[in-house]
Amino acid sequence: MNKRMVTEPQKKRKKIFKWTAAGILILITAISFAGVYLLKRGVTLERLNLRHATVSESFLVWNDKLELQLGRVSINQDEQGADNLSFQKLVARSVKTAVFVSRFVSKITIESIKIGDQTIKVDLTQQHDRSYLFDLQSETT
């Protein structure tokens, strides 16, 4: 008897594995195409509530890279929070985040970020292949 002979249950397992792997690959491909199709057309989000923030009127679209437009962002600060987000912290975090995000995004526009009594406007736009214009404006009410 040859040791290389495959038993009937092993054949069934291999066949099931092949069909399962093919099905998963087809599913992943279909989801990827659907995601690209949706991003090409653009995705609009009316309102998103997170733990300490509310984002209104968001729009995400894929041209050559992602373009993200946020309408109003309200950041709620609780009085007990030790890590209150100040303008200086926002600038520092924005610059660090912009370096990472610039790989995937060609444009980010935030019409207004409301933190306490400060309103901030942010624009990050890709000017050329590797240079960006980062504009951050603040006003106190």
- Average pLDDT of every residue of the chain: 78
My answer on whether 48 and 34 are in the same domain is no
My answer on whether 55 and 35 are in the same domain is no
My answer on whether 58 and 81 are in the same domain is yes
- Is the pLDDT assigned to residue 81 strictly greater than 50? no
Q: How many domains does the chain have?
A: 2
My answer on whether 65 and 104 are in the same domain is yes
CA distance 107 to 17: 43
My answer on whether 73 and 49 are in the same domain is yes
| CA angle centred on 106, ends 37 and 101, rounded to 5° | 100
My answer on whether 71 and 56 are in the same domain is yes
- Is the pLDDT assigned to residue 129 strictly greater than 80? no
- Is the pLDDT assigned to residue 28 strictly greater than 90? yes
My answer on whether 37 and 79 are in the same domain is no
My answer on whether 48 and 85 are in the same domain is yes
Confidence at 2, pLDDT banded by 50, 70, 90: low
My answer on whether 3 and 56 are in the same domain is no
DSSP H stretches of helix in the chain: 8-41, 87-101
What pLDDT is attached to residue 30?
92
Q: Which of 89, 48, 103 is nearest to 71 (CA)?
A: 48
Confidence at 138, pLDDT banded by 50, 70, 90: confident
My answer on whether 118 and 101 are in the same domain is yes
- Is the pLDDT assigned to residue 14 strictly greater than 50? yes
The distance from CA 9 to its chain's CA centroid, rounded to whole angstroms, is 45
Task: Name the pTM for this structure.
Answer: 0.60
Residue 102 lies in domain: 42-140
Higher pLDDT, 39 or 98: 39
Confidence at 141, pLDDT banded by 50, 70, 90: low
